[in-house]
Structure 1
Amino acid sequence: MKTTFKYDHYYKYDELKSNIEFFAEKYPDLVSCEVNCVTEEGRNQYAVTITNKKTGDALSKPGWYLDGNIHAGEVTSSMAAMHTMDYLITNYGEDDTVTKLLDTTTVYIIPRVTPDGAETYLSTPYMLRSANRDYLPEEGGIKGEDLDDDGVMRMMRIKTPYGAWKKDAKDPSVMIKRDPSDTEGEFYDIYTEGVLEAFEGDENLKTKKASWGLDFNRNFPLGWWPDYRQPGAGKYPLSNPECKALADFVLAHPNIGGAAIGHTSGGLLLYPPGTKASKAAPSFDIKVMKEIAEMGKQELGYKPMNIFDSFIHDQESYDSGAFDDWCYQTQGIPCYTVEFWDVPTKAGKPHVWGGEEEPDAGLERYYACVKWVKENAPQYYSDWKEYDHPAFGKVEIGGINFKFTLQNPPENFLCAELEADTKFNIRFAKAMPQLAIDSVNSEKIADGVYKITALVGNHGYLPTNLTEEAKILKVAKPVCVAVKGGEVIGGKAQEKIDALAGYSQTATGAFYGNISTFANACAKKKLSWVIKAAEGTVITIEACSEKAGKAVKEITL
């Protein structure tokens, strides 16, 4: 796929910033860039708006939203957002699909929600969830550090008679569980490579609780719970400025009709609700989210699933406060969490979602992944090596670089993931509702009196209200149709249509060997007015929808 920039590495902040600014400066009629918020360390959370400004204001068209990197280490998602941005801008005017999309639709992209967290992840050996800010820190335990200065925090095995692990006799680089009868031999504990912070009772070692424990995707108002239930939730909903900026952006852009939210990993297309079973949601909403997700499956090869039904393990004390649930369950916006990258499936040991696994399935999966890394990204694997630890004496350090093997693709696998996602994103954005005025006719009733008839419709897949949830929430807005240019003496100068269906609501199927359209969706509405005006007067019909855009048609009497 043709792009302006290369996608064979992960962008640090300066490169991401430079590329965004390049697009905004070179394509002023297509691209606008704003600073959505400034982080504690002074970096910008950028929001980019892409549409052909000559065909209308951004808010006058259906909108579609994309973001990435709400979790600091999930940098594939910010690269995917940048790739989609790049492809759309670079190919406008050359590719018919891209050109039509940006002529009729507005694309909003926030490529890196947490620029501080991502910069720490990409510039240091450290792992973190969302931001490099202390949150409910606890002292004591083994704290992750790059002891051998190879730029990676790997695993550290410590020989001890109390250890729960032992070397596999067939391959000493492989650690297997000590079984109940193992009373003789060498045994080990395995921790993250790191240093010991003393604590009371430290004769029994433990991993230190992460000080950078904020989880931005537990900080949104829908289903928020305090930290006792969902670690990293923050002091209160939207307490993180980066999260509040996302919510404010969506509310400030009411034309947004769909959202794709980037994460890693797992090779999944997750759709809401995540706080209740899918059978408790409107059946139409689940239908359309499944159908859109099927396009993602076709392009990415990822598995679509409902968050609550299949992805959540504990359906009583589940995690919530997520952005996708907030978008759907407060704004009625259909949205997806795209979990990029899936080594277990490539390694032949895929996750079993929504079902029971054998007790050792996770360990088998891990070693299948390690084998895949050795064969496909050997630069990110290190054999066990002795290290003289200041607290534990002789230990061994080794294993994979988790960051760029399991959590994100090795660089040579990156571009293929991004290209597949861009294809899905374009198809998703094309599913937005699209308002149209199919025809306007006039009929002379008497001298200076005319009957005007207009056929207003929605040419898009989604209805103008997007979802049934939007109706339940009372956030769905009607389609407004106004007539201008004469005195209205019959009908209202401004009519309102509650909603226009999309072709997603057309009833189709197979019946006795034939395929059939059983009933059209209510996607069209005929309106009429009686106008008093002189012959030759130009009458303008203007239809507006918050989610489906604006359509205008004129007729001369």
Structure 2
Amino acid sequence: MMRKCCVSITILCLYLIFAAPLLAAKIKLTFDHYYDGPAVVKALHDLQRDYPELATLRSIGKSEEDRDIWLFTINNGRTGQDTEKPGIYIDGSIHGNEIQATEVCLYLAWYLLDSYDTNPKIKELVDSRAFYIIPMVNVDSRWRFFTDPTHFDIGRSAHVPYDDDRDGLVDEDGCDDLDGDGEILQMRIKYPFGDRKSHPDDPRAMIRVKPGEKGEWKILGMEGIDNDEDGRLNEDWPGYLDMNRNYGFKWQPPYVQGGAGDFPMSAKITKAIADLVVSKPNITFNFAFHNWGGIFLRGPGSKLAGMYPPADVEVYDFLGHEAQKIIPGYRYGMGYKDMYTTHGDFDEWMFSCLGIYGFVAELFMGSQEQFKKPGVEADRKKQKAYEGGISTEEKLKFNDFVSQGIMFREWRKFNHPQFGEIEIGGWRAFTTRAPQLFMLPELVHRNTSVVLFIAQHTPDITLALIDVTKLSRNLHRIRVRASNANAIPTLSHKAFQNDLSRKDILKCEGSGLTVVSGGIIEDIHLDKVVPVAYRPWLIFTSIPSFGKREVQWLVTGHGEGTITFDSKKAQNRSLEFKL
């Protein structure tokens, strides 16, 4: 009996030794692949399961195709509620074909949680800030990018039925996977009057013919047929509603800007995210991850929006120039000047309607797909500067010698039901807008590092009692300084001037004390104070970037009192005094 008992105990000990680490193991996300829709949802649920004390997951609504819009919140409840701390909002893939934006969001969520117990810097951030992450904004189109035949330029739109060609039908003439290979590629046809010819050094590439020069190819567009027999190909795709043109500031109708939708916030997802943001007044900064071009963009997105206040531009400039250093090659710029004009976009609505700073982060530089002699600059005349300036010939060499031929599908003959013999081929779906997988880990980590840098610069207020002076037998002067060590103020200048958010409150109170005067100190050395007109115990203000706000009260009576700093976008502070 004793022998059997010893054997049982030994087995139990071995089980505990070897099984315990397995039971304690937490999810390890890897970024050597792209996560499809179900994998994203599973990863979020797994993270929430493994870090229940730091992470919450909930659906904020349903998409047009009834998929959940998942919000992943990271906040240490033991150090306070999320809305009591500076908040950072991050989302990805508002355009469904911009798939790697989701990977940045996933990596950020995993990195913050996985590093919490081992990296003091990350622990301090998670304890003192709140992170609101929506990895898949356009959940329908990004989901379909992995399940339907697709192309890197397909899937931008929300899945809202729309009559693009005004023929009374909706979504009746999209692309078609003619050769059944699971991708939508390009079509070309031999045509002596076409505007293209084969490149003399690489027949896979085509170049424009010069005036008077004989053509060889006509580009027909993406794979497809004239489904509605109106003489046009692929002119009424699913959609088209661009959710980044559907927000409520300076919205313009579709005849001004395609994809705007019938009215602002008409897409279910747009409305759900707007409702979320309004419910989180602590959000100080937002990141909207897109692709591509390697640029951090601030507004304004159009001239209609007007120029930003100089004080806010200074904040943007500091953060943008530092972000460039974190990701070599990326640039910092302004929307309509450095990319193109947009109306009704998310980041403009955030800043101009709510006073929240933010960047549109255009991921991945085409210039990384280079194959050229060291020191030879890319010819930026061949593409827009923000796209990286890489020629087709150069990119083909990158495909051949770096990606080992997986990016480009050779041209193949196909008997088209309407055009006869054509060729189908070209750049495949997981190229051009998305980096090759060996580039993905660096992309997600460096962009996460920019988010973390800016999170460190959300307002952090120190409250200090700098002077208590007895002016008479029953009258004291109290002076207090609220200082901000970081770049982001407690309120943007736009928000402060236009009352877009409740101002910070500095309050003086105490039993047996009466505040007879209060004001903001403009010059402490010259004793220059601007008094408040009403309720002198309350001073409404904001704390500037890398700056301070000094206030004073004249108080009668004796006893203990409290000074409090109450802010929507920074943690509240208080201190005690005695007269």
TM-score category by the smaller chain? 0.7 to 0.9
Q: Is the 8 A contact 1:480 1:495 kept in 2?
A: yes
Match status 1:336 vs 2:359: yes
* 2:245 pairs with one of 211, 218, 233: 218
Contact 1:70–1:113 at 8 Å: present in 2 too?
yes
Matches of 1:116 and 1:522, distance apart in 2: 46
Q: Does 1:29 align with 2:53?
A: yes
Q: What is the alpha-carbon distance in structure 2 between the residues aligned to residue 485 and residue 455 of structure 1?
A: 19
CA distance in 1, matches of 2:412, 2:564: 72
Counterpart residue identity of residue 63, structure 1: G
Among candidates 391, 413, 435, match of residue 365 of structure 1: 391
Partner of 2:544 in structure 1?
Answer: 501
- Check 1:526–1:42 CA distance in 2 against 1; reply closer, same or farther (3 A cut): same
- Give the aligned partner of residue 479 of structure 1: 504
Report matched runs for 1:293-372 at 5 Å: 293-301=320-328, 302-312=330-340, 318-344=341-367, 346-347=369-370, 349=378, 351=380, 365-372=391-398
Q: Per-residue CA shift, 1:217-262, capped at 9, x if unaligned?
A: 0001111111111111101000001011121111111111111111
Which residue in the other structure is 1:422 paired with?
Answer: 448
Q: Structure 2: 5+ residue runs without aligned partners?
A: 1-25, 371-376, 517-534
Q: Is contact 2:195-2:209 (8 Å) kept?
A: yes
What are the Cα deviations for residues 311-349 of structure 1, in whole angstroms up to 9, with x where unaligned?
22xxxxx43110011111111211110000111454363
Distance 1:32 1:226, change over 3 A: same
Matches of 1:446 and 1:369, distance apart in 2? 80
Q: Distance in 1 between matches of 2:218 and 2:307?
A: 48
1:174 counterpart = 2:202: no
CA–CA distance in 2 between the matches of 1:364 and 1:88?
Answer: 35
Matches within 5 A, 1:256-271: 256-271=283-298
Question: Residue 160 of structure 2 aligns to which amino acid in structure 1?
Answer: R
- Partner of residue 373, structure 2: none
- 1:64·1:257 contact (CA, 8 Å) conserved in 2? yes
Higher mean C-alpha displacement, 415-424 vs 148-157: 148-157
Q: What is the rounded CA distance, in whole Å, between the counterparts of 1:106 and 1:528 in structure 2? A: 37
CA contact (8 A) 2:315 2:545 kept: no
Select the residue among 229, 233, 241 that pairs with 1:199: 229
Farther off after superposition, 337-346 or 248-257: 337-346
Counterpart CA distance in 1 for 2:57 and 2:175 is 38
Q: Secondary structure at the match of 2:163?
A: coil
Partner of 2:117: 93
Determine whether 1:84 maps to 2:108. Answer: yes
1:68-467 matches, within 5 Å, as 68-126=92-150, 127-138=154-165, 143-183=174-214, 186-197=216-227, 199-200=229-230, 202=231, 206-276=233-303, 280-301=307-328, 302-312=330-340, 318-344=341-367, 346-347=369-370, 349=378, 351=380, 365-377=391-403, 378-401=405-428, 403-439=429-465, 454-466=480-492
Query: Is 2:173–2:237's contact at 8 Å kept on the other side of the alignment?
Result: no
Is 2:39 the counterpart of 1:12? no
Q: Mean Cα displacement is larger for which, 128-137 or 43-52?
A: 128-137
Matched pairs, number? 521
Larger mean CA deviation between 481-490 and 113-122 belongs to: 481-490
Instruction: Summarize the Cα distance change of 1:376–1:141 in structure 2 as closer, same or farther, 3 Å threshold.
Output: farther
Cα deviation, residue 523, structure 1? 3.9
Distance (whole Å) between structure 2 residues aligned to residue 351 and residue 45 of structure 1: 39
Match of 1:543 among 565, 570, 574: 565
SS, match of residue 225 in structure 2: strand
Task: Find the aligned partners of 2:412 and 2:419 in 1 and give their Cα distance.
Answer: 15
Residue 213 to residue 366, structure 1, CA distance change in 2 (3 Å): farther
User: Closer, same or farther in 2 for the Cα pair 1:406/1:102, shift >3 Å?
Assistant: same
User: Do the aligned residues in 2 keep the contact of 1:142 with 1:191 (CA within 8 Å)?
Assistant: no
CA contact (8 A) 1:311 1:353 kept: no
The TM-score with structure 2 as length reference comes to 0.82
Are the counterparts in 2 of residues 3 and 83 from structure 1 also a CA contact under 8 Å?
Answer: no
> Cα–Cα, structure 1 residues 553 and 282, in superposed 2: closer, same or farther, change >3 Å?
same
Matched letter for residue 39 of structure 2: E
Q: 5+ unaligned residues in a row in structure 1: which ranges?
A: 313-317, 504-520
- The 1:452–1:94 alpha-carbon spacing in structure 2 relative to 1, beyond 3 Å, is farther
Distance 1:451 1:469, change over 3 A: closer
Change (3 A) 1:456 1:169: closer
1:494 Cα deviation after fit: 4.3
Report if the CA contact (8 A) 1:435-1:545 is conserved: no
TM superposition shift of 1:422: 0.7
Q: Which amino acid aligns with 1:334?
A: Y
**1:178: Cα distance to partner?**
3.0
User: For the structure 1 residues 485 and 269, does the alpha-carbon distance in structure 2 shift closer, same or farther, using more than 3 Å as the test?
Assistant: same
Q: Please give the secondary structure, in 2, of the residue aligned with 1:194.
A: coil
Q: Verify the 8 A CA contact 2:484 2:545 in the aligned structure 1.
A: yes
Q: Which is further off, 443-452 or 331-340?
A: 443-452
Check conservation: 1:3, 1:87, Cα contact below 8 A: no
The letter of the residue matching 2:276 is: F
Maintained 8 Å contact 1:490/1:531: no
Deviations 1:435-472 (CA, angstroms, capped at 9, x unpaired): 22234887899999988664433332222222x22233
User: Structure 1 residue runs of 4+, over 4 Å off?
Assistant: 139-143, 350-357, 361-364, 439-454, 491-494, 526-531, 554-557
User: 2:509, 2:303 → 1: CA distance?
Assistant: 47
* Equivalent residue, structure 1, for 2:522: none
- For the structure 1 residues 134 and 448, does the alpha-carbon distance in structure 2 shift closer, same or farther, using more than 3 Å as the test? same
Per mean C-alpha deviation after superposition, the further-off stretch among 404-413 and 346-355 is 346-355
Q: Give 1:56 deviation, angstroms.
A: 1.3
Larger Cα-atom Rg: 2
The Cα shift of 1:100 comes to: 1.3
Q: Counterparts of 2:389 and 2:110 in 1: how far apart (Å)?
A: 39
User: Judging changes above 3 Å, is the alpha-carbon distance between structure 1 residues 25 and 447 closer, same or farther for their aligned structure 2 residues?
Assistant: farther
**Are 1:488 and 2:513 an aligned pair?**
yes
Secondary structure of 2:117 counterpart: coil
CA distance in 1 between partners of 2:209 and 2:470 (Å) = 92
Structure 1 SS opposite 2:244: helix
Q: Secondary structure at the match of 1:66?
A: strand
Does the C-alpha gap of structure 1 residues 400 and 496 become closer, same or farther in structure 2, counting only changes over 3 Å? same
Q: Does the CA contact (< 8 Å) of 1:450 and 1:532 recur in 2? A: no
Identity %: 26
